[in-house]
C-alpha cells in the first residue's frame, strides 16, 4: 500500500543538463522524423536554441538519475504491481538540448479505491529554467493493483 | 506553423489518423533506455512472469510519446498548452497503435483562441489504450 503519511512529501530538487545525445536518442526511438527534434542546425533554423524536446520528454527528465525502486519503495511501492494510470502536462515554455532545468517533485495525494484493491499515488512535478520560470507542470497518477 | 495555418480547424473536425509500426521487444528495450523508465515489467519477461503477467508490456509513456507525435504533426509544439491522457489498458508487444483525434471545441480565453482536441489511441483490434485531450492555441 502507498503510505498516506507521504501526502505532501517533497523530493529533493534536481538540477539537470538536457543532454543533446540523450534527447536525440529519445526522438529516434519514438520514430520522430521532424528535424527540429533530431538536428541542431535544423532546430536553430526554425528559431529554437537547439534540438527541441518532444512534448513528453520532460517526464524522462524527471526520471533521470534515479530508480523507481529507490524513489518510491519508501512510500510503499511494489514494483510488480505498478501501473501508470494517467499523465498530464501543462506547458509554459519549451525545453531544448543544452538547457539546465530545475525539477521539484511532490506527492500531492494518496488514496484507495475498490475497497483497497486499487491504490493511487498522485505526484506533481514542476520543471523550471535557471531563471526559475516554469516550463512545464507534470501530474502523474500511479496505481498499484492488489489482486 | 503560423496561426493562419491553424485557423483551418473547426469544431467537430476529425483529424488525419497516424499509425505507428508494431511495437517490438527491441522498441521496448530502446525506449527503456531512451526514456529513463527502467521498470523491468517492460523489458524482462522473467520479472513479468514472477509477478503473474504472461509477458512484458509497453510503457504507457511510449503510447503517449506516439500520441505526442500526432499532436506535433497537427501544430507547432509551442502552441500546445496542455496534454493529458489516461492509460485505459495494457499495450501488448506487437501492438500497432493508431492515434486519432477530433476537435471538441474552439473557445476564446483571455487573449488566446484555444482548440480542445479529444485524443484516442487504439491497437489493431480497436482496443482502446489511451484516452486523452490536448489544448492548442490557434
pLDDT score for B4 = 47
Is the confidence at residue A121, as pLDDT, over 80? yes
Grid cell for residue B10: 473547426
Q: Where are the domains of chain A?
A: 4-145
Chain A residues touching chain B at CB-CB below 8 Å: 22, 25-26, 28-32, 34, 52, 54-56, 59-61, 63-64, 67-68, 79-91, 94, 147
Is the confidence at residue B7, as pLDDT, over 80? no
Contact between chains at A80 and B51 (C-beta distance less than 8 A): yes
Contact between chains at B82 and A91 (C-beta distance less than 8 A): yes
Question: In the predicted model, what is the mean pLDDT of residues B106-118?
Answer: 93
Query: Which residues in B lie closer than 8 A to residue A60 (C-beta atoms)?
Result: 34-37, 61
The answer to whether residue B84 neighbours chain A at the CB level (below 8 Å) is yes
B99 Cα to chain A: minimum distance (Å): 14
The answer to whether residue B119 neighbours chain A at the CB level (below 8 Å) is no
CB atoms within 10 A of CB A33: 10
Q: In what order do the strands lie in the sheet containing A82-91?
A: A14-17, A100-113, A118-128, A134-145, A82-91, B80-87, B128-137, B112-122, B98-109, B18-19
A61 Cα to chain B: minimum distance (Å): 8
Question: In the predicted model, what is the mean pLDDT of residues A11-37?
Answer: 98
B84's enclosing H/E stretch is strand B80-87
CATH architecture of A4-145: Roll (3.10)
Range of the domain at B64: 3-137
Grid cell for residue A122: 498522485
Core vs surface per residue B107-123: b (16+ CB within 10 A) or e: eeeeeeebbbbebbbbb
ipTM for the predicted complex = 0.96
Taking the C-alpha atoms of residue B31 and residue B59, their distance in angstroms, rounded to an integer, is 8
How many distinct structural domains can be found in chain B?
1
Grid cell for residue B2: 503560423
Question: For the domain that residue B87 is a member of, what is the CATH number?
Answer: 3.10.129.10
pLDDT tens per residue, range B32-81: 999 999 999 999 999 999 999 999 999 999 999 999 999 999 999 999 99
- pTM beyond cutoff 0.90: yes
Contact between chains at B41 and A80 (C-beta distance less than 8 A): yes
What is the secondary structure of A19-68 as a DSSP string? Answer: -HHHHHHHHHHTT---GGGT-HHHHHHTT-SSSBPPTTHHHHHHHTT--H
Amino acid at each position: 500500500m502507498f503510505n498516506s503519511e507521504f501526502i505532501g512529501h517533497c523530493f529533493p530538487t534536481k538540477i539537470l543538463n538536457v543532454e543533446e545525445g540523450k534527447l536525440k536518442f529519445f526522438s529516434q526511438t519514438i520514430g520522430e522524423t521532424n528535424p527540429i527534434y533530431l538536428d541542431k542546425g535544423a532546430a536553430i533554423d526554425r528559431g529554437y536554441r537547439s534540438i527541441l524536446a518532444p512534448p513528453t520528454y520532460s517526464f524522462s527528465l524527471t526520471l533521470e538519475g534515479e530508480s523507481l525502486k529507490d524513489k518510491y519503495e519508501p512510500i510503499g511501492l511494489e514494483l510488480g504491481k505498478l501501473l501508470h494510470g494517467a499523465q498530464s502536462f501543462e506547458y509554459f515554455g519549451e525545453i531544448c538540448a543544452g538547457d539546465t532545468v530545475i525539477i521539484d517533485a511532490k506527492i500531492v495525494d494518496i488514496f484507495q479505491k475498490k475497497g483497497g484493491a486499487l491504490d493511487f499515488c498522485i505526484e506533481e512535478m514542476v520543471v523550471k529554467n535557471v531563471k526559475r520560470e516554469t516550463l512545464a507542470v507534470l501530474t502523474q497518477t500511479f496505481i498499484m493493483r492488489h489482486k | 506553423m503560423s496561426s493562419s495555418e491553424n485557423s483551418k480547424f473547426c469544431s467537430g473536425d476529425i483529424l488525419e489518423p497516424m499509425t505507428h509500426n508494431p511495437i517490438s521487444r527491441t522498441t521496448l528495450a530502446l525506449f527503456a533506455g531512451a526514456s529513463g523508465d527502467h521498470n523491468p515489467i517492460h523489458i524482462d519477461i522473467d520479472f513479468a512472469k514472477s509477478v503473474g503477467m504472461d509477458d512484458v508490456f509497453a510503457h504507457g509513456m511510449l503510447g503517449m510519446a506516439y500520441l505526442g507525435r500526432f499532436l506535433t504533426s497537427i501544430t507547432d509544439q509551442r502552441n500546445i498548452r496542455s496534454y493529458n491522457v489516461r492509460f485505459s489498458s495494457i499495450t501488448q508487444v506487437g501492438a500497432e497503435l493508431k492515434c486519432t483525434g477530433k476537435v471538441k471545441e474552439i473557445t476564446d480565453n483571455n487573449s488566446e483562441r484555444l482548440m480542445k482536441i479529444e485524443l484516442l489511441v487504439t491497437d489493431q483490434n480497436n482496443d482502446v489504450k489511451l484516452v486523452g485531450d490536448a489544448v492548442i492555441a490557434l
